[in-house]
Amino acid sequence: MPMVRIDHTRRDDPDFAGKASETVRSALETAFSVPREDFFQVVTAHEFGSGLFGPQRFLDIEHTQDLVFVQITCATGRSKEQKIALFQAISSGLAGETGMRPDDVIINLVENQRENWSFGRGEAPFA
């Protein structure tokens, strides 16, 4: 039941959003054992120089202006190893599917309790 936001700079590839979405979805299935039908994503394209900003260098990693930010909100309970596997699958998957640099993939994982979720009607099925 992760909620995913993918923000990227607009690209010439009209299929980029779909490729990015499927890459993250597949990585969540593999690394976190998320069922395929647990699929809640927002993918947003931004013009170059408008809306996505980051340092040119951080922790010895060089970045370009061609950044992709992936923010995943999910319930707590995954190990450090699962998180690292997820990050690596997303980064390498985006590089393989879209040709972008893995150094330009910024990922943030936000964990919360299951009672903080509603999937419609204002119901809290896990509260």
Catalytic residues: 2
Tell me how far the alpha carbon of residue 42 is from its chain's centroid.
10
Strand ordering across the sheet containing 68-75: 40-46, 3-9, 68-75, 105-112
Tell which residue, 92, 109, 27, 101, has the closest CA to residue 61: 101
- Dist CA 32 CA 126 (whole Å): 19
Q: Is the dihedral of CA 125, 75, 37, 42 positive or negative?
A: positive
